[in-house]
Amino acid sequence: MLAKTGTAEYGTKNPLQTHAWMIAARGDLALAVFVEAGESGGRTAGPILREFLERAA
């Protein structure tokens, strides 16, 4: 499996809010998870992506 996580800060609040995302590929399946207001790619989007992949197996 290949995977990459990321975050992007946005808004004007202090501290800034964070978009969280993760993309992954396994075999012929590729997907992306985007969470509008999340902590980090690994902590927020990662568990969502893992659950999807486990159910797709």
CA dihedral (42, 43, 48, 51) in degrees, to 10, reads: 90
CA 44 from chain centre, in angstroms, equals: 6
Global pTM? 0.83
- Would you place residue 6 in the very low, low, confident or very high pLDDT band (cuts 50, 70, 90)? very high
Q: What is the pLDDT of residues 39-53, one digit of tens each?
A: 999 999 999 999 988
Q: Give the domain extent around 46.
A: 2-56
- Would you place residue 24 in the very low, low, confident or very high pLDDT band (cuts 50, 70, 90)? very high
Q: Please tell me the distance from the alpha carbon of residue 43 to that of residue 22, in angstroms, as a whole number.
A: 10
When divided into structural domains, the chain yields a total of 1
Residue 37 has pLDDT above 80, yes or no: yes
- The per-residue pLDDT for 3 is 94
